[in-house]
Amino acid sequence: MTSTHTREQLFQAKSWKTVRRPGVAAEWITGADFDIFTVTGVVMVKALFGITTTLIAGNILPLIEILTAVPAATVPLCAVTGGNWNTDVAGTMYGWTGLVTDDLLAGAVIGAQGAAAGTNDWNGGFVVLTEGVINVDNAVASTAGVIDWYITYLPMTPTAVITVL
């Protein structure tokens, strides 16, 4: 039997969930990749963004990827950062459009950015993820900085959940 539910009906039938992952300064200082969320089951992602809580200092160039369980693979969720994140003050938002080909960009201090600003406008529709670990790929060390990460998702399978790492 084929489902005839529209996308809007599916969204209304389930509850969106948002998870916050507090930042850790040591993650940026080491200049290495670090895990932020675990995906269990199948989820539809509506938004993934970060907000600085402590000044960024050190020209970091991160991108977001998922390390999938089956098949085992590293899959970029965004292409690359839109530029060096350096001297970004607390409250700066980092987001991407939901399109894999787009950059992870810094936006203005606190507040979602719209299409006119060209950043943090979730125009990719949605991103469906299967089980795996969402990771920040960061090869450049910073001398300071903390970014809290947020993800808003819709569980698509009965046991689907995103947890903080």
The confidence score (pLDDT) of residue 8 equals 63
* Listed residue (88, 83, 105, 108) closest to 96, CA to CA: 105
Domain count along the chain: 1
Is 71 among the domain residues? yes
Residue 2: inside a domain: no
**CATH code for position 140:** 2.60.120
Cα gap 103→97, rounded to integer Å: 8
The answer to whether residue 149 scores a pLDDT higher than 70 is yes
Residue 54 lies in a domain: yes
The residues, ordered by sequence, that sit 6+ positions from 63 with a Cβ below 8 Å of its Cβ are 76, 77, 78, 79, 80, 81, 104, 136, 137
**Where is pLDDT greater, at 23 or 89?**
23
Give the pLDDT confidence score for residue 2 in this predicted structure. 54
Structural domain contains residue 4? no
Task: Please report whether residue 9 resides in a domain.
Answer: no
Which structural domain range is residue 56 located in? 14-164
pLDDT tens for each residue of 109-118? 444 544 444 4
Given a contact cutoff of 8 angstroms between Cβ atoms, the answer to whether 138 and 62 are in contact is yes
pLDDT band at 134 (very low <50, low <70, confident <90, very high): very high
Of 26-40, 79-93, 109-123, 143-157, where does mean pLDDT reach its minimum? 109-123
Q: For the segment 57-81, what is each residue's pLDDT rounded down to a tens digit?
A: 777 778 889 999 888 999 888 876 6
Assign 25 a pLDDT band (cuts: 50, 70, 90): confident
Provide the residue count of the chain: 165
Kindly state whether residue 47 falls inside one of the protein's structural domains.
yes
131 lies in some domain: yes
Q: How confident is the model at residue 122 (pLDDT cuts 50, 70, 90)?
A: low
The residues facing 19 across adjacent strands are 151
The answer to whether residue 145 sits within a structural domain is yes
